[in-house]
């Protein structure tokens, strides 16, 4: 029996509640398919700051580094008034993980479940046929903020003779662009063979370099049809004609914004999983970090109402990309669709005629559908 080690970082807010459901699903998979998953749970974010004084401890980082995958819940944030003078920010846990493990490719699949087309704020006839995946660059760009300010990549508020001046740096090396663009072309080749590279080349130098790299890498993938698209136009087409997209590759901040927008096609941000993949190979895949794209939602934390689907589908991506368990990943994805088809919905995707269930109950229905699907 193959043995796999997973570090679990439930994090803050609704993170622990949705992660618990994803873990139940993983344990059910282990049971049904005969796998041995060793799980280590650790703190990250606000809870780690409170207990350990840091957003993520060295011990936890080293444990993650020795695992096949990291399952992540959600990270909280400090109120803006406290952020300014803070020495430690909860988001640093995520940034540290993304940077130290070079998770440069963040996969965010957007595949509206047929039964939910009417729950989307976008008209069902526009949602129909949408099935796309974002490859968001995750290791560079404008991110990393004031606690990570360096002379070649300043990010700070300066006091000058003209008053306060704020500066952030959008910096990309050719190599940073190339590795994520290559990953995106490789993914496009396994899908419908279409890639959209999104940038703001009419304004930004980093986008001009981005386009050059895309054109060079495209020459190695004659089977993939590709286009450049400006980010503002992309934001429009995601609502006007989402079915035109297959793979979208873009830089860090554009990807952050566009994926929240695209999540609305599926009806709720609670539905979207993600995989952050780096460079280290595991015995059967790539070491990665898996998390729903939603935040810690402190306003609904502890109420058993958060949607666990994004977390459960993140566990499916973990099975596929880090453990090489494709059949198991597909079984989990089918189980989610079945639970929804049976009419079970958390409140964020509630429609007339469907049953409102809590986080735990939704998880139970997914686990039941998984077991039932395995029996058939
Ligand atoms: C995400 C989140 C993070 C990001 C936050 C928590 C820093 O919004 O993963 O999309 O902006 O990358
Ligand atoms: Mn985001």
User: Predicted confidence band at 118 (pLDDT cuts at 50, 70, 90)?
Assistant: confident
Q: Which domains does the chain have, with CATH numbers?
A: 1-111+267-376 (3.40.718.10), 121-144+170-265 (3.40.50)
C-beta 91 within 6 A of ligand 1:
yes
Pseudo-torsion of CA 369, 295, 11, 329, nearest 10°?
30
C-beta 137 within 6 A of ligand 1:
no
In 138-274, beta strands by DSSP E:
156-160, 163-167, 194-199, 225-230, 247-250
User: Predicted confidence band at 107 (pLDDT cuts at 50, 70, 90)?
Assistant: very high
Helix axes 15-33, 309-321, angle to 10 degrees: 50
Calculate the average pLDDT of the chain: 96
Alpha helices for 219-281 (secondary structure H): 231-240, 252-263
User: What's the pLDDT score for residue 14?
Assistant: 98
Q: In this predicted structure, which of 140-154, 158-172, 241-255 has the lowest mean pLDDT?
A: 140-154
Q: How far is the CA of 83 from the centre of ligand 2 (A)?
A: 18
Ligand 1 atom with the smallest distance to the CA of 291 is 9
Q: What mean pLDDT do residues 141-169 have?
A: 91
Torsions phi, psi of 248, nearest 5? -115, 125
Q: Classify residue 141 as exposed, middle or buried by CB count within 10 Å of its CB (0-12, 13-18, 19+).
A: buried
| Catalytic residue selected from 24, 246, 256, 348 | 256
User: What's the pLDDT score for residue 80?
Assistant: 86
Q: How far is the CA of 220 from the centre of ligand 1 (A)?
A: 32
- In Å, what is the CA distance from 66 to each residue of 10, 26, 96, 287? 18, 19, 16, 9
Of 146 and 162, the structure prediction assigns the larger pLDDT to 162
Q: Buried b vs exposed e over 148-175: b needs ≥16 C-beta within 10 Å? A: eeeeeeebeeeeeeeeeeeebebbbeee
Whether residue 135 contacts residue 226, with contact meaning beta carbons closer than 8 Å, is answered with no
Residues 88, 93, 94, 97, CA torsion sign: positive
Q: Residue 289: which of 75, 3, 133, 77 has the closest Cα?
A: 75
Q: In this predicted structure, which of 26-30, 210-214, 348-352 has the lowest mean pLDDT?
A: 348-352
Question: Is-above-0.75 flag for pTM?
Answer: yes
Whether residue 212 contacts residue 206, with contact meaning beta carbons closer than 8 Å, is answered with no
User: What's the pLDDT score for residue 351?
Assistant: 85
User: What's the pLDDT score for residue 352?
Assistant: 83
pLDDT surpassing 80 at residue 265: yes
pLDDT surpassing 90 at residue 117: no
Summarised one tens digit per residue, pLDDT across range 298-331 is 999 999 999 999 999 999 999 999 999 999 999 9
User: What's the pLDDT score for residue 365?
Assistant: 98
Residues 6+ apart with CB under 8 A from 7: 39, 40, 41, 42, 60, 63, 64, 67, 69, 70, 71
Q: How far is the CA of 116 from the centre of ligand 1 (A)?
A: 25
Summarised one tens digit per residue, pLDDT across range 125-142 is 999 999 999 999 999 999
Of 151 and 332, the structure prediction assigns the larger pLDDT to 332
Ligand 1 atom with the smallest distance to the CA of 95 is 7
Summarised one tens digit per residue, pLDDT across range 180-224 is 999 999 999 999 999 999 999 999 999 999 999 999 999 999 999
């Amino acid at each position: 029996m193959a043995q796999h080690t997973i570090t679990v970082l439930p994090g803050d807010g609704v993170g622990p509640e949705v992660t618990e459901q994803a873990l139940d699903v993983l344990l059910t998979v282990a049971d049904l398919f005969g796998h041995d998953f060793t799980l280590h749970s650790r703190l990250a974010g606000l809870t780690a700051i409170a207990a350990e004084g840091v957003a993520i401890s060295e011990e936890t980082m080293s444990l993650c580094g020795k695992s096949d995958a990291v399952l992540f819940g959600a990270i909280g944030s400090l109120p803006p008034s406290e952020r300014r003078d803070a020495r430690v920010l909860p988001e640093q846990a995520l940034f540290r993980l993304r940077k130290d493990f070079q998770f440069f490719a963040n996969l965010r699949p957007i595949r509206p479940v047929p039964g939910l087309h009417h729950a989307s704020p976008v008209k069902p006839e526009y949602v129909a046929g949408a099935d796309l995946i974002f490859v968001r660059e995750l290791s560079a760009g404008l991110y990393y903020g004031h606690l990570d300010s360096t002379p070649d990549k300043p990010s700070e508020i300066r006091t000058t003779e003209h008053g306060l001046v704020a500066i952030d740096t959008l910096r990309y090396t050719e190599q940073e662009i190339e590795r994520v663009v290559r990953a995106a072309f490789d993914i496009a080749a396994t899908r419908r063979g279409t890639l959209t590279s999104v940038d703001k080349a009419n304004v930004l130098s980093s986008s001009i370099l981005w386009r050059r790299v895309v054109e060079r890498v495209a020459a190695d993938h004659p089977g993939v049809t590709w286009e450049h698209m400006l980010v503002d136009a992309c934001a429009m087409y995601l609502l006007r004609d989402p079915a035109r997209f297959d793979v979208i590759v873009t830089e860090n901040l554009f990807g952050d914004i566009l994926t929240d927008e695209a999540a609305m096609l599926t009806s709720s941000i609670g539905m979207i999983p993600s995989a952050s993949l780096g460079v280290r190979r595991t015995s059967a895949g790539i070491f990665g970090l898996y998390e729903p794209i939603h935040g810690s939602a402190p306003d609904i934390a502890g109420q058993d109402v958060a949607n666990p689907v994004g977390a459960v589908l993140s566990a499916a991506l973990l099975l596929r990309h880090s453990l090489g368990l494709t059949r198991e990943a597909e079984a989990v994805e089918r189980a989610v669709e079945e639970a929804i088809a049976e009419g079970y919905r958390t409140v964020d995707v509630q429609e007339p005629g469907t049953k409102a269930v809590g986080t735990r109950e939704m998880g139970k229905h997914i686990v039941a559908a998984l077991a039932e699907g395995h029996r058939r």
